[in-house]
Amino acid sequence: EGTAMGKHFGNLARVRHVITYSLSPFEQRAFPNVLSHGVPNAGRRFASQVLKVVPPLAIGYLIYSWGDQEFERLKRKNPADYEHEQ
């Protein structure tokens, strides 16, 4: 216990006079407030992040679609180059 190397996870710090209470996983409800609390909270968190996420994605998509169209346009041969051939 005296050396730093020999400690296991859980004995990393010695704490005295602290009492912790816990409930067995079998006694607690897994999803107590999903509909009443979780859904509005998820909506609020989603809304708070929309303005950070959507503009870069939209710009990236516009650049991608423009590049795709430009690539297809440049792939085609120009018919004017072949007008005078037999």
- Helix (H), strand (E), coil (C) string for 42-79: HHHHHHHHHHHHHHHHHHHHHHHHHHHHHHHHHHCCCH
Q: Are 30 and 40 in contact (CB under 8 A)?
A: no
Q: How many domains does the chain have?
A: 1
Bin 59: left if φ > 0, else alpha if -120 < ψ < 50, else beta.
Answer: alpha
User: Tens of pLDDT along the chain (86 residues)?
Assistant: 455 555 566 565 666 777 777 777 777 776 766 667 777 888 888 899 998 999 999 999 999 999 999 999 999 988 888 888 77
Q: Is residue 69 part of a domain?
A: yes
Q: Is residue 57 part of a domain?
A: yes
Q: Is residue 66 part of a domain?
A: yes
| Residue 24 to residue 42: CA distance in whole angstroms | 27
> pTM of the entire structure?
0.45
Query: What is the phi/psi pair of residue 8, to 5°?
Result: -95, 165
Q: Is residue 84 part of a domain?
A: no
- Residue-number span of the structural domain to which 58 is assigned: 52-76
